[in-house]
Structure 1
Amino acid sequence: MSIKIKASILIVDDNEDLVESLSMQFSYLGFNVTKATSPIRALELTELICPDLLISDIRMPKLDGINLIRKFKAIQPNVKVILMTGYYPEYEKSITEAIQQGLADRVIQKGFRALEIERLVYELLSNSGKKEKTLQADRRKILFVDDEVEVTDFLNSFFSEEYEAAVANSAEDAFETYVRFQPDVVVTDIKMPGQGGIWLVKQIQESKTKCRIIIMTGQDNKSVLQSLKNETGIEEYFSKPFRMSDVENLSQKIKEGFQPPKRRS
């Protein structure tokens, strides 16, 4: 499952620092990024580029973001749009109308975390080239476990198109879900309140059911990872905090694990 990694994004905001920050973020993820620090410049760019996604602030001098996207989509109607604002209550009515009219696809309030806007970008660009979903009966099952709801919600959103996904936010709830859900793969954090991920891994291992386990950890220290391996026998790890590229790699790793081994000729 992958988004169009070489998709193009146009970022528009009169805040140059924010434009630069978002540009670096999405360039790092493999997108082609174009920057504009004024809405007038963004309109000029319609003659030069045809972005897949427009990320625009609303409150800007000379032309606000609502009118910008109206003019932009009159020229390039297929562009996806994310609106950013630090003044949501003031623009709520205009934003609602823009979404209802098909001018905007999503809105995000400023002060957002990197993962939040990456998730929106992923959702929009992956939906723009939808593929057939795997039949429910044929879908593999994945259980994501982390005490941070944002993490499990994001992973669930990313993987649910291709897999049957479930989430749990504690080790205790995770094991109950595991028994009921019978997943093929469990991706679990280690440090959680209560019993924690080590306890969960051992409970799964003692249940004698066949399940692949991938550990999420914020520890990237080799000695710590070796200690976890010695304690659990698990050799697959997924590092936190993660970026979209890391999640793509995790998706590929999981998919490869379901491939039958190649026969020797």
Structure 2
Amino acid sequence: QHVFQRQHAQRIAKSPFFCQKIQTRGTQQIMNTSHQNTMKILIVDDEEIQRVSLQDDLNDAGYKTLAVESPIVALELAAKEEIDVVITDLKMPAMDGISFMQELKKIQPGATIIMMTAYATVETAVEAMKIGAYDYLTKPFNTEELLL
């Protein structure tokens, strides 16, 4: 599993989307922007303003995005097409972000998952990271942090 994670981290490192995060994790690689136009990002958030705003910002930065309100719809999408990155909310009515992430990992084990929440706790952050979240962001956050 560690070899897979290392290979996946190398794939992610080529994206400017993760430039700041990878650098803070100690990766010394030069970032390559050639994957920007081919990377597909799925945004899952029941809050329309947050979802649409994040999608607009990522589209403006040149990323291909899909945005859905429901984690159930997101799982259906993930079963049909390859998703590189999933940015998901933690608290959603149909299914919480932790359960969603567990189900998503079964369908798309290679997808990078970023958890976001307005209800951050140390416990949920640790749980999300143990399950395989790449990062855990507290709302509100500046989209530019993701794009650096």
Q: Is the 8 A contact 1:10 1:33 kept in 2?
A: yes
Question: What amino acid maps onto 1:35 in structure 2?
Answer: A
Structure 1 runs (4+) deviating above 2 angstroms are none
Question: Greater RCO between the two (CA within 8 Å, min separation 6)?
Answer: 2
Offset of 1:16 from its aligned partner?
A: 1.1
Pairing 1:141-152 to 2, within 5 Å after superposition? none
TM-score, normalised relative to structure 1 = 0.42
* Alpha-carbon distance in 1 for matches of 2:55, 2:94: 23
* Alpha-carbon distance in 2 for matches of 1:10, 1:68: 13
Question: For residues 146-166 of structure 1, what are the alpha-carbon distances to aligned partners after superposition, in whole Å with 9 as ceiling and x for unaligned?
Answer: xxxxxxxxxxxxxxxxxxxxx
Question: What amino acid maps onto 1:2 in structure 2?
Answer: N
User: For residue 15 of structure 1, what is the aligned residue in structure 2?
Assistant: 47
User: For residue 112 of structure 2, what is the aligned residue in structure 1?
Assistant: 80
TM-score, normalised relative to structure 2 = 0.74
Pairing 1:173-192 to 2, within 5 Å after superposition? none
Residue-pair matches, total:
116
Offset of 1:87 from its aligned partner?
A: 0.5
SS of 2:114's equivalent?
A: strand
* Alpha-carbon distance in 2 for matches of 1:58, 1:98: 9
User: For residue 109 of structure 1, what is the aligned residue in structure 2?
Assistant: 138
SS of 1:88's equivalent?
A: coil
User: For residue 16 of structure 2, what is the aligned residue in structure 1?
Assistant: none
Q: Show structure 2 runs of 5+ residues with no match.
A: 1-30
Offset of 1:76 from its aligned partner?
A: 0.6
User: For residue 97 of structure 1, what is the aligned residue in structure 2?
Assistant: 127
* Alpha-carbon distance in 2 for matches of 1:45, 1:62: 16
Question: What amino acid maps onto 1:113 in structure 2?
Answer: N
Question: What RMSD in Å do the two structures reach over aligned CA positions?
Answer: 1.3
SS of 2:81's equivalent?
A: coil
Pairing 1:34-73 to 2, within 5 Å after superposition? 34-73=66-105
Question: For residues 49-100 of structure 1, what are the alpha-carbon distances to aligned partners after superposition, in whole Å with 9 as ceiling and x for unaligned?
Answer: 21110000000002001110110011110000110000002xx313202212
Q: Is the 8 A contact 2:88 2:97 kept in 1?
A: yes
Query: Percent identity between the aligned chains?
Result: 34
Q: Is the 8 A contact 1:66 1:95 kept in 2?
A: no
User: For residue 5 of structure 1, what is the aligned residue in structure 2?
Assistant: 36
Q: Is the 8 A contact 2:51 2:67 kept in 1?
A: yes
